[in-house]
Amino acid sequence: MTTQNRRQFLKFGLTAAAALPLIATAAKAAGHKTHQIEISGHKFQPNALKMEAGDKVMFVNLDGAPHTATDDNGAFDTGRLNKGEDATIVIEKAGTYSFFCKFHPGMRGQIIAS
């Protein structure tokens, strides 16, 4: 993704202190990864992602149609992503997160954080 794209950085379930850039840098130094899920052909790819709690996930929409990645239980929501846009979320707690697209509810994916 290029820097021209609108970038969103969304954090959920964090304290205000944890949202500080310095803390985010410390988390990165501790070895947390950023994973990527592409949205293409009305599918989340990969459709099931295994990762560690504390890792980030960047959703990138490559389709002409707008999409979202919205957790079934409200743990995260990228909001509307138009073509070429991306949004990054942080999964803080281990668990299985099932998500869908608000515009196309048949589009589903899963994040398994351990």
Chain residues binding Cu ion by CB under 5 A are 67, 101, 103-104, 107
Write b or e for each residue in 59-72: b if 16 or more Cβ atoms lie within 10 A of its Cβ, otherwise e. bbbbbeebbbbbbe
23: DSSP letter: H
Alpha-carbon radius of gyration of the chain: 14
We find the least distance from the C-beta atom of residue 5 to Cu ion, in angstroms, to be: 18
In the complex with Cu ion, the residue whose CB is nearer, 10 or 18, is: 10
We find the least distance from the C-beta atom of residue 95 to Cu ion, in angstroms, to be: 23
Show the beta-strand stretches assigned E in the chain.
Answer: 7-9, 34-40, 43-45, 48-51, 56-61, 70-71, 86-90, 95-100, 108-113
In the complex with Cu ion, the residue whose CB is nearer, 12 or 103, is: 103
In degrees and rounded to multiples of 5, residue 22 shows phi and psi of -60, -40
We find the least distance from the C-beta atom of residue 40 to Cu ion, in angstroms, to be: 11
We find the least distance from the C-beta atom of residue 94 to Cu ion, in angstroms, to be: 27
Residue nearest to Cu ion (CB): 101
